[in-house]
Amino acid sequence: MESGTPDVLLRTEGRAGFVTLNRPRAINALTHTMVLAVDRALTAWEHDPAVTTIVIEGAGERGLCAGGDIRAIHDDARAAGTASAAFWRDEYRLNARIARYPKPYVALMDGIVMGGGVGVSAHGSVRVVTERSRVAMPETGIGFVPDVGGTYLLGRAPGELGTHLALTGSPIGAADALLTGLADHVVPSAELPALAGDLTRLPADEAVSRHTVTPPPGVLAEQREWIDACYLAETVEAIVERLFDTGVPAAKETATTLLAKSPTALKATLATLRRSRALGTLEEVLDLEFRVSCAALTTPDLVEGIRAQVVDKDRDPHWTPSTLPEVSAADLTRFFAPPPGGDLGLAGTLPPA
């Protein structure tokens, strides 16, 4: 049986319900309508005894999902609108629902899986990457902060690997996705159709185990020593200084990468990540991230970052302020204040900023 909307295709086959994100030209970037469509499908299938496994996949050859529709966020931010906050309310609730879903939720994380794409996949109970996977939370490059529970996931990665990925936005492959806890299994991309077929007739774990392989080594394990040492510093400035001082070429390159990101977004990301580590549940972290996202919507860097990377594509953002020392404590405090429209409230009431 097939149903859904043009941008989200739904079908049931055997014991499985399939969600196909269907905006291949935009690498299946999420819109508000898509989030609501996925949520409705999860509601229907949760109460359908014939459906025992959920599978989410992306249409086209490029990836599962490149994130949220940041052009729409750019336009909303320029207009001082409320559409983005409304989108995030429903998106973050969907992220929490996926994490608590009572049936196996299998995410086929092939190709590009970034931002909001991580949110609809990496909270699932069965997360499959391939040799083509490029998984990332690249928000600091557009003047934003990792959301969709990204700081929850990265905050619980081994050592300081999650801090490194959150600040740099660097994409990782299959082995590093396993290492950092963003994925569970590796399946060759050529075998995904066969896996999908097995999921229609077998329990999810059994189906996946038939196709799982060991990936080639990643890069993070061999970089762990300098990453852990540098990112333990208390401030972004100190992290950058340590990276430059290590004498390790990759660390110095990372420092240069960080200095190209939004200074405000870097500091807000570090503060959010460290606060999220002190919170007990994903719901609490999503409540925190909602405050941060709403605050970021009002900063000049979000509009400027999306302009430079996506709209004009000149790759030359002009951040305000332009350096790390210029970002004040007051600038950061506002990220943790309740938003004008009220808190998300998934886990109750957050403490004052």
> Which residues are identified as catalytic?
68, 116, 139, 147
Name the nearest CA neighbour of 131 among 213, 56, 61, 221. 213
CB of 120 within 8 A of CB of 67? no
Distance CA 159, CA 166 (A): 13
List of residues 6+ apart from 319 with CB closer than 8 A:
143, 262, 263, 264, 301, 304, 305
- Whole-number Å distance between alpha carbons of 221 and 161: 9
Helices (H), 108-235: 116-119, 150-155, 161-168, 174-179, 192-199, 204-209, 220-231
Torsion of CA 170, 233, 160, 240, to 10 degrees: 20
C-alpha closest to that of 65 among 94, 36, 107, 100? 107
Question: How many CA within 13 A on the CB side of residue 253?
Answer: 5
Sign of the Cα torsion 118, 122, 124, 128 reads positive
Which residue has tokens 């989108």?
87
Q: State the DSSP H helix or E strand holding residue 136, giving kind and residue range, or none if neither.
A: strand 134-136
What token pair was written down for 115?
Answer: 């931002």
